[in-house]
Structure 1
Amino acid sequence: MAEESARTSAGPSAGAADEAPRVPDGTSLESPLDAARPDGIPRIEGPLVPTVIVDGLHVVYKIYGAGTGRGNATAALHRLVSRKASPNVHTVHAVKGVTFTAYRGQAIGIIGSNGSGKSTLLKAIAGLLPADRGRVYTDGQPSLLGVNAALMNDLTGERNVILGGLAMGMSQEEVRSRYQGIVDFSGINEKGDFISLPMRTYSSGMAARLRFSIAAAKNHDVLMIDEALATGDRAFQKRSEDRIRELRKEAGTVFLVSHNNKSIRDTCDRVLWLEKGELLMDGPTEEVVAAYEESSG
C-alpha cells in the first residue's frame, strides 16, 4: 500500500541528546550555511529555518484515453474484482523519490527539460497533487503562481485585483492600500486605461503580468513561480526579479521554474535539476546550470 502523504509543520524534530536535529538532506538545524559547506550554498545569517522538506516524494497520476467512459458493464465489474486497470488508462510516474530541504531566505530555481516533473513538483508542494509515496512538510502556507493562474475573464482588471488580493488573505484595507502599486507594477495602464476593461480583452502577456503583480503584492511564507518571468518585456522581468529579491529579504522562500537560464542566474542562489522525475543535482546556481547546459548542448 502506498504510504500516506503528510503535510505538517517543518519544525525541528527531536534528535539525540549530543547531536543537533537534522533534516532529510543531513543538514544540522543549528549550523549556519557558509561557503565552506560541501554543497556550496551561500551563507544565511543565523540558525537555519526549514520552510519546505520534501522526503522521498513520488507523484503518480493517471491519463485517461479515449473510450474510458464507455464499455461493457460486465467487463468493468471483472476489472474491479480482478483489480486490473482499464486498457485505456495510462499511469505516469511524474516525480520519483525526490528529497531536499529549503530554508527561509533562499531563492531556489528548478530546471530541466520539458516533461521532467518541475511543475508537478511545485503542485505537490502546494498541496494541489497528492503524494503516492513520501512526504511534504511545509512551514507556513505555500502559494503557487503560474501563468495559468485563474482570474475571471469577464471581470475587469480592477475587480480581479481586488478579488485576487482577498483570495490571498489580504484585508479590504490592505487591498485598497496596495491597489495602485499592483497596477503600476504590472504596467497594464502604460498604453491606456486597460485596468477598467474585462480580462478577456488582455493579451496573454498582459494577463500574466497582472497575475504576477497580484501575487507579488503579498509577503508569502513560500512563493512558487511557474514560468512567470518568461512573460512581458525586459523591463517587467527586471521588476519581477527585483521583487523576488525583496521577498527573500522579508524572510520568505521562493521557488522559480523557468527555461530562461538568465532569470535563474539573476534570481536564484540554489538550483534543483530534474530529469524524468528524478533529482539529478542540487547545489549552487552557476554549478548546476552550467552542468545542465553542458548536458543539453
Structure 2
Amino acid sequence: MAVADHLDDPLDARVPTVIADDVHIVYRVNGGSGGKGSATAALSRILRRDRGESRGVRKVHAVRGVSFTAYRGEAIGLIGTNGSGKSTLLRAIAGLLPTESGRVYTDGQPSLLGVNAALMGDLTGERNVILGGLAMGMSREEIRGRYQAIVDFSGINEKGDFITLPMRTYSSGMGARLRFAIAAAKNHDVLMIDEALATGDRKFQIRSEERIRELRKEAGTVFLVSHSNKSIRDTCDRVLWLEKGELLMDGPTDEVIRAYEKETGK
C-alpha cells in the first residue's frame, strides 16, 4: 500500500507521528579491501573515479528513496533480508544518522531501543535502571515508583539476585531483556525496537508483545525490526518491507508477510 493510499483514507484523520519523505542515506567508508595490485582494488579504483569519489572512500547507499507516513496508535514492523536498511532507517528516524537527501519529520521525541543500547557494564543492573530511566527523561520519583516493575518485567532475578551484580556478569539475553524493560517502562511518542523481542524465552516475548500493545493504546507509535515473522504478526498491524534500501511494500501485516515469505521462502 503506497503512502498516497494512506493519505486518501478518511480514517486517517489520525495524527501523523513520523513522515519519511524520499529519504536517502549514504555511508562513507574509509579504506578499501584487497592489495594495491589486486583485481578487486583495481576495479574499486576505476569505480571510484567513475563516481567522482575521493581516493580511499567508498559510498554505501543504504536507504534509497523511502517514503511513508506513520500514525499515532500504529505498530509497524520492518522486515527484509540482512543488509536491507531496516536498522539504518530506524537510526535516521531517531535522529542518529543524517539523510543524504530527503527529510524525516517526527511529532514528539523518538526513542530507539536496540539490543546494543548502551548501558554501563561495570555498574549494577540496579544503577543502570536508574541511569536508563533518567536518560529517557523520567524523574527519580518516577523511577523509584516503577523500579520493581522493571525488574520483574525483565525476569533477570528469576534465577538469583542479578540486579545487584554488574551488568558485565549478565548474559547477552539478560542484558537485552533489562534494556527492553527500562525502555518499556515509559510511554513514548515514537518507540523503535531493533530485534529486542528475539531475546529471552517465549514467556518474556509474550510479556513484551503485550507491553507493545499497551504502548499503542497510550497514543504512541511503535516500530519493530525483527527476523521473526511470528513476532511481527503477533505485534504489528502494518509492515514495511525493505530490500537493498528500497521500500518494496507497505501495507497490512498478513498481506506483506505473505508476499515476503513467497519471495524469500522465509
TM (norm. structure 2) is 0.90
Distance in 2 between residues matched to 1:84 and 1:263, nearest whole Å:
43
Letter in 2 for 1:25: A
Letter in 1 for 2:161: D
- 2:216 is aligned with what amino acid? R
- Whole-Å Cα distance in 2 between the matches of residues 272 and 28 of structure 1? 16
1:195-217 superposed Cα distances (whole Å, 9 cap, x missing partner): 00000000000000000000000
> Unmatched 5+ residue regions in structure 1?
1-22, 34-46, 68-82
Structure 2, gaps ≥5 residues long = 34-50
Q: Secondary structure at the match of 2:158?
A: helix
Match of 1:147 among 92, 115, 122: 115
Q: Which protein is richer in helix relative to its size?
A: 2
Q: What's the secondary structure of 2:157's corresponding residue?
A: helix
Equivalent residue letter for 1:260? S
Q: Which residue is 2:30 aligned to?
A: 64
Match of 1:184 in 2: 152
Task: Classify 1:290/1:168 alpha carbon distance in 2 versus 1 (closer, same or farther; 3 Å).
Answer: same
* In 2: Cα distance, 1:232 partner to 1:275 partner: 28
Aligned to 2:184: 216
Higher Cα Rg, which structure: 1
What SS is found at the alignment partner of 1:135? strand
CA contact (8 A) 1:31 1:48 kept: no
Superposition pairs for residues 49-88 of structure 1, below 5 Å? 49-65=15-31, 85-88=53-56
CA contact (8 A) 1:24 1:53 kept: no
- Taking structure 1 as the reference length, the TM-score comes to 0.80
Deviation, 1:85, is 3.5
Q: Does 1:250 align with 2:229?
A: no
Q: Distance in 1 between matches of 2:6 and 2:235?
A: 24
1:123-176 deviation digits (Å, cap 9, x = unpaired): 000000001000100000000000000000000000000000000000010000
Give runs of ≥4 in structure 1 deviating > 6 Å.
none
2:201 partner amino acid = D
Select which of 192, 195, 198 maps to 1:230: 198
Which AA in structure 1 matches 2:158?
E
Are 1:262 and 2:213 an aligned pair?
Answer: no
Name the SS for the 1:94 alignment partner: strand
Deviations 1:109-135 (A, max 9, x none): 000000000000000000000010001
> Is 1:121 matched with 2:89?
yes
